[in-house]
Each structure stands twice: as structure tokens, then as C-alpha cells.
């Protein structure tokens, strides 16, 4: 019997910037499967990672709330655990609602939403060079928030030597498959979709499957050689074509990393193609919402910087491709999507508008996804929060035209304003030249801070 509600396949690699898809005509990457997929669905060009690091993104995705509401202000590890940085059992998450609505659900790959315990130091990845434990076991029960198929781990950056806790496995019963994590996780996802003999899910129920790859996250050199060879003859300088790239400061590391980063992107594209093929083979394409996105990007030398947390597009803009042949008209759309919008939007698309949990701060953008008239956000919030001093750090807003940022340093505020239409690579700070725009955007920021109960609200005027 066909499902009354759509299936959902949500694929979310880590640190995959929006520019690294061929369909964006930006980085010189090889992504044939994503390019074909983009032509079949919606390419959202303004999907924003509001707090562009791993755990806060995932907490916003699951709760529909911004960090000050869900408590995940920064990444989960043994140091931040002392400040309660983890996804709380008491949160009513997207997956809790889908479970109660009759969905079978699977989670494959990186979770990074739990506080490591002393046992995790023994049975997980163990302490890193900084002395912190990042990996964490999520036991069966309420901490899995309604997900019944489990093939996951907390946080481990060993792409060629990953480990997983599978379904009801105890903390000392992890598996170590000894292969590239993206390939292994795709194998599991394909088995879940095919569901031979009902081994993975209830075939009579709609399903929601999360596939959370860790690559192209560092260490960048842990990628199969067959993907690196596809960029043979190209140097890192050849591949870094953006005019805002620099190599004098932190960006110097990009000279050793870019080819491998792009190779991992191509590997992810290859494996994503296998997921799409499995859906096609099972006749599930028409009834399945497939989303390909990421938790944040990577600067990879742009602005002479590396990695994430920054307000620049290479860090903050993420891929967002969505296909549902039955309902979505293929197109490009500049809808400003924030991460907390995904919970209410997905529930809206599944006909579960009335089940959106109380306290959700994101907007239901289902009508926009369906190409219908309705309200569309004018701006998106940017945060770089300090979990010990939440009134510090950086705050900003992104509109279609502007990126406005306030940074607090040594008791003073530093203002940055980029005109992203006139200056798409964000190379000029025009704050001093446009005081009226600064005033307007500061008011927009203040409204966001009040709305999200941010401690900054009392200090920003």
C-alpha cells in the first residue's frame, strides 16, 4: 500500500560549501550527479547556515529553534558539556513528530549532538590532541528522538577508519568497517531504501532517512585516490579560482588541501548518485522528498581564511537542492532559508502543519517550496556565539543584497557591511560609506535578537 505521506531522504555532508557544486558555476568541481539532480528539482541559492558550525546546525535542524532557545551554542565535546551543550531529551524534535505521525526513521553517520561521558573516552574515538573528547555514544531510547534504525556515531574525524553503533548495540559493541565512511554509509542507506525482507524498516509506513556524511570535513587528505586522480594535472592554485583567495595568512593551508577537498566533494557526488539510483530502482522517486544540503561551508583560502564560523558566503551559504517530482517545479529560487525553518517546512510539506511543536522559531516555508504565493523572509540571522559569554561574539543579518555584521572586540564594536550585489566576493567593507543602510540593518538585527531572546538584544541599539 503506498504511503499517504511522502518519504524524506535528507543527505547532509559536513563542511560542504555551496560553491562546490558544478551547477553553481563557481568552483571547478566534478559533480555530475548533483548537477543532474539540480536540473530535476529546486536549487535554493540563499540557504543560510545561521551558526556555521556542526552541532548548532544539527540542533537547529532537529528543534526548529535558534541556539539560545535550544541551548546548543557551540560544538558538543567534553569541555562544553560542563555548560550543558547538547541536544536535550526534553526537546520535541522533527523526528519525534514524524515518529508519532507513523514514520519509520533512520539515521546514518555523524550525529554530534550528545555530551561525551567518561565511557566515551574509552569506547569511542578517545581524547584528541587538545585533551577533549568529541565522540559520544547515543543510547537507545529518548535521546534518539523517535529514530528506530540507527547506524551512527557522535564525532570522529577518521574517514578511513570510522566506527558506528548499530541499532541496539551497547557502548562496547561498536563496529569498525575499515573503509571510507562515505562509501560505507551509502551502502547502509542503499540497504535501507531497498529494505530486503523488511530488514530495515516497516514497508507499510512512510520513511524518513538522514544520511550525515562527515567528509568533506577535515582531515582533507583522507579521501580515496580514485577521486583525487580526477583532478590530476591541476594544482591547488588552479582550483582556487575565486578572486578573494589569499595565501598569506590562514589561507596558506588551502595550497595543501583544495585538491583533496574537491576530490571528497566528487566522492560524495558519486555516492549520492547511488542513493538516487536505489530510489529509482524501488519506484520511490515520485513519493520521496530528497534534500541535499550541508551544515556549513569552508573558506578554503577565500578572504585568506580556512574553515567555518565566518559570515562570508563560502562559510555561511550551503547547498540546498530539493526534489519531489510530484509537487516541486524544477527551478532556481532565491528564498532566504534559515536552518530552523526546515522543521516547520518539512512538517508542512508532509501535511503535519498542526503538529509543529510549540516554541519553534523557524518559518513554515512549504508554500514557497511548492511555488505558491506567500510570505518570504527578507533576512536571515547570523551568529557566532560564545557559550561562556553569550553576550559576546558576532551577530549579523544577511539579506539578498547585504551582509551586515557587528563584532565585539575589547569593549568596542566593529561594523562590517558588504554589498553582495555590487561586491559578490565580499571584498569591501562599505559600512562607513552607507550610514543609512547600517542604521536600517542594525534595526533588523535588533528585531532578530529580541525575537530569539539573545542576550545581545539589551546591548544592541
Grid coordinates representing 29? 568541481
Mean pLDDT, the chain, whole residue set: 96
pLDDT per residue over 146-156, tens digit each? 999 999 999 99
pLDDT per residue over 183-219, tens digit each? 999 999 999 999 999 999 999 999 999 999 999 999 9
What is the per-residue pLDDT for 262?
A: 98
Instruction: Report strand pairing: 7-11 vs 288-293.
Output: parallel
Supply the CATH classification number for the domain 7-369: 3.40.720.10
Q: Please, which residues bridge with residue 110 across strands? A: 153
What's this model's pTM, rounded to 2 decimal places?
0.97
Q: Which residues of 296-315 are buried (b: 16+ CB within 10 A; e: fewer)?
A: bbbbbbbbbbbbbbbbbbbb
pLDDT per residue over 275-318, tens digit each? 999 999 999 999 999 999 999 999 999 999 999 999 999 999 99
Residue 412 pLDDT > 50, yes or no?
yes
What is the per-residue pLDDT for 459?
A: 61
Does domain 380-458 fall into CATH 1.10.287.1770? no
Query: Do 340 and 66 touch, CB atoms closer than 8 A?
Result: yes
Q: Which of 149, 59, 159 is nearest to 111 (CA)?
A: 59
Q: Where are the domains of the chain?
A: 7-369, 380-458
Residue 373 pLDDT > 60, yes or no?
yes
pLDDT band at 3 (very low <50, low <70, confident <90, very high): very low
Query: Do 110 and 153 touch, CB atoms closer than 8 A?
Result: yes
Residue 1 pLDDT > 50, yes or no?
no
Amino acid at each position: 500500500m503506498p504511503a499517504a505521506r511522502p518519504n524524506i531522504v535528507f543527505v547532509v555532508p559536513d563542511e560542504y560549501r555551496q560553491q562546490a557544486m558544478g551547477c553553481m558555476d563557481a568552483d571547478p568541481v566534478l559533480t555530475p550527479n548533483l548537477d543532474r539532480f539540480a536540473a530535476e528539482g529546486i536549487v535554493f541559492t540563499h540557504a543560510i547556515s545561521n551558526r556555521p558550525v556542526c552541532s548548532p546546525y544539527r540542533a537547529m535542524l532537529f528543534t526548529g529553534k535558534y541556539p539560545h532557545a535550544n541551548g546548543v551554542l557551540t560544538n558538543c565535546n567534553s569541555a562544553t558539556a560542563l555548560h550543558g551543550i547538547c541536544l536535550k531529551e526534553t526537546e520535541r524534535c522533527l523526528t519525534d513528530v514524524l515518529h508519532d505521525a507513523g514514520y519509520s526513521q533512520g539515521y546514518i553517520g555523524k550525529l554530534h549532538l550528545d555530551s561525551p561521558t567518561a565511557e566515551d573516552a574509552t569506547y569511542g574515538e578517545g581524547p584528541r590532541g587538545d585533551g577533549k573528547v568529541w565522540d559520544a555514544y547515543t543510547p537507545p531510547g529518548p535521546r534518539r528522538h523517535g529514530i528506530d534504525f540507527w547506524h551512527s556515531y557522535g564525532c570522529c574525524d577518521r574517514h578511513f577508519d570510522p566506527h558506528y553503533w548499530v541499532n541496539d548495540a551497547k557502548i562496547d559493541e561498536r563496529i569498525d568497517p575499515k573503509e571510507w565512511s562515505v562509501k560505507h554509509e551509502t551502502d547502509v542507506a542503499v540497504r535501507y531504501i531497498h529494505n530486503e525482507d523488511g530488514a530495515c524498516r516497516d514497508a507499510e509506513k512512510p520513511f524518513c532517512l538522514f544520511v550525515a556524511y562527515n567528509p568533506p570535513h577535515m582531515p582533507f587528505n583522507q579521501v580515496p585516490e580514485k577521486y583525487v586522480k580526477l583532478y590530476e594535472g591541476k594544482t591547488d592554485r588552479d582550483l582556487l579560482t575565486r578572486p578573494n583567495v589569499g595565501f598569506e595568512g590562514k589561507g596558506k593551508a588551502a595550497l595543501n588541501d583544495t585538491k583533496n577537498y574537491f576530490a571528497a566533494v566528487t566522492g560524495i557526488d558519486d555516492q549520492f548518485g547511488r542513493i538516487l539510483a536505489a530510489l529509482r530502482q524501488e519506484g520511490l522517486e515520485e513519493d520521496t522528498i530528497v534534500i541535499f544540503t550541508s551544515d556549513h561551508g569552508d573558506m578554503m583560502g577565500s578572504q585568506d581564511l580556512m574553515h567555518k564560523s565566518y559570515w562570508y558566503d563560502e562559510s555561511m551559504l550551503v547547498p540546498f537542492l530539493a526534489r519531489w517530482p510530484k509537487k516541486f517545479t524544477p527551478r532556481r529560487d532565491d528564498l532566504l532559508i534559515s536552518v530552523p525553518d526546515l522543521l516547520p517546512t518539512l512538517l508542512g510539506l508532509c501535511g503535519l502543519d498542526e503538529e509543529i511543536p510549540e516554541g519553534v522559531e523557524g518559518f513554515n516555508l512549504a508554500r514557497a517550496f511548492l511555488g505558491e504565493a506567500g510570505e518570504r523572509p527578507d533576512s536571515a540571522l547570523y551568529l557566532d556565539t560564545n557559550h561562556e559569554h553569550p553576550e559576546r561574539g558576532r551577530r549579523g543579518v544577511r539579506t539578498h543584497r547585504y551582509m551586515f555584521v557587528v563584532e565585539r572586540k575589547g569593549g568596542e564594536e566593529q561594523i562590517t557591511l558588504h554589498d553582495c550585489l555590487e561586491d559578490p566576493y565580499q571584498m569591501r567593507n562599505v559600512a562607513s560609506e552607507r550610514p543609512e543602510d547600517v542604521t536600517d540593518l542594525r534595526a533588523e538585527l535588533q528585531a532578530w535578537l529580541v525575537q530569539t531572546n539573545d542576550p545581545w538584544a539589551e546591548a544592541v541599539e
